[in-house]
Structure 1
Amino acid sequence: MVIFTVIDDLLAKTSVKPNEIDILIVNCSCTTMIPSMTDMIIINRYKLRSGIRNTELSGMGCSAGLIAVGLARNLLQTMSYGAHALVVSTEILTGKYYAGRKRSMQLTNMLFRMGGAAVLLSTSRANARFELMHIVRKSTSAQDSAYHCVFHEEDEEGNLGLNLSKDLVATAGEALKSNITTTAPLVLPVSEQFSFLSSSHFCSPLSHRRCLRKLQVQSIVFLISVSQFNISAYMLVGKL
């Protein structure tokens, strides 16, 4: 399985032994396995110790990786110095393959693929390359359009699959805007925040929109950098 490759790569690059892992969190967006992947696959293969805290998250969609990292951070805050948390993110689409003829449901067969990534977090500063400062997540599930934009359902012929609605792009845009609004004050320099506030206070409504656009563009650049970090997260060690 692909998760074995990313875990082996991570352990080799960080020189952390399997028996040094205190927390194991695995997330899979669509597939739920019984027994869980943590018990059936990872703990058994790597012979992790019996006292490990293990959790599996499923059905959380594209936000599963972020939720798993947040959970690992919270659990590490209760652990002693030097504790390690292994977070594994994967996707298994075999069970969600759509064999019908509805185009909006065929799209998922082409968009999504199997893959995996792993990241190691620790309460120790030793060998750490990054410090986890903030985790921002906004939920739009209360809106009906967001709730139904990606939905697992049957088509008219009874074939199960993931249906992507036309509201998906607009919903993703609103979610991105909400996250940018929250993230910007956390990551932008104080000088940029002061410049934006000063401009928005003294300029016309048109100029205000330009200032807001500038702030959003700067935030998007930062978020793209974060996304690139997340893609290669299995090669890195974070610290709290």
Structure 2
Amino acid sequence: MNKSTYITAENPMSATFRYLAISIMFMFVGFLFGKLFVPASLVYAANIFVVILIVGLLIFSLMSRKNVIPTSFSMNFVYLFTFVDGILMYPILTYYLYDLGTSLFINIVLSTCVIFAVFAFISHKKPAGYFIGLGNILLTSLMVLLAMTIVNIFFNAPVFNILVSAFGIILFSAYILYDVSTLKHYIESGRITCKNDLSIHVLNLYLDFVNILLDLLRIVSDLKD
């Protein structure tokens, strides 16, 4: 399919959320791969690595927002990234699964889906570019969150940990508004001409989803303890 026929053959907004669903599926495939091949001993040390992974995801989010990552690349890179991310998250997700129990863990995953869907729906219903003005505020907030997370590595205070996680949920919920609004603006301005142009948007929305999920898991786990 060439660039000129892409828009007429497929709705870019629908395609983005379909690719996002596939990306999340690849994450869970990576999780299952990790379950088969990652040593079980890492599960018991997962609480040590959770902050490291979160810092890595925040840095990656910051790179994508500051255009360090190209704005157009193969969707296969997104799938590869989410697959590897699923492997890296295996010990952490398994730790929370044991700590919280299957029922509560599933409810948190579903809650993440609901939060994502609500904010995506709100943004989609607004005019294109409605939330783009939040960009600079969100970027600054992301850098603040990264700094707070790094500080929390050394202090590891339960109350501060909950505050950082709550801030992360608020921030990435707002980023859903911004990312969907930006995508809608790009579509209506003709800047989405092929599948690869959607890749950065899919990646950003995936990072929004995963960061909210991990922050929710951390909050519930801390409150439980």
Please confirm whether the aligned pair reaches a TM-score higher than 0.5, indicating the same fold: no
Give the alignment's TM-score, normalised by structure 2.
0.26
Larger radius of gyration: 1
User: Which has a greater percent of strand?
Assistant: 1
Q: Which has the higher contact order (CA 8 A, sep 6+)?
A: 2
